[in-house]
Amino acid sequence: MLSGVKKIALVAHDNKKKDIIEWAYYNRTVLSQHELIATGTTGKLLEEKLGRPVKKLLSGPLGGDQQMGAMIAEEKLDMMVFFWDPMEAQAHDSDVKALLRLAVAWNILMACNRTTADFILTSVLMREDYPVVIPDYSGYLTRKLIE
């Protein structure tokens, strides 16, 4: 169940940090009603621009992506805004793919561009409790493995 106060993860590749900072500042009033978590550098920049605390994880390539993925799997995040760079390969592309896969697997809100982030953030559902349907992975967990 998502409560009215959401735990929102904010992540951006280097070429998208300016975009996420501008987006967050534009949406600062709405974001002030929620808990913000970010990977290292993005979190530092957001704190400076928004003038409010942001829980900072490690830098993405140094483990921050995995920390965020663990938070998703442990149901400690409600939403992820990840402005990733579609035009440049990243040294940690496998980490990025794993993070995006976990967000989908655990059915959390996810926006990868400004338009989607704006639509989600301004949805009436952001201010309400919302019952999230967690997929049933029991079949996967109890599958017979080849010996």
Q: Active-site residue numbers? A: 65
On whether the CB atoms of residues 54 and 36 are closer than 8 A, the answer is: yes
**DSSP labels, the chain:** -B-SS-EEEEEE-GGGHHHHHHHHHHTHHHHTTSEEEE-HHHHHHHHHHHTS--EE---GGGTHHHHHHHHHHTT--SEEEEE--TTS--TTHHHHHHHHHHHHHTT-EEESSHHHHHHHHTSGGGGS-B-------HHHHTPPPP-
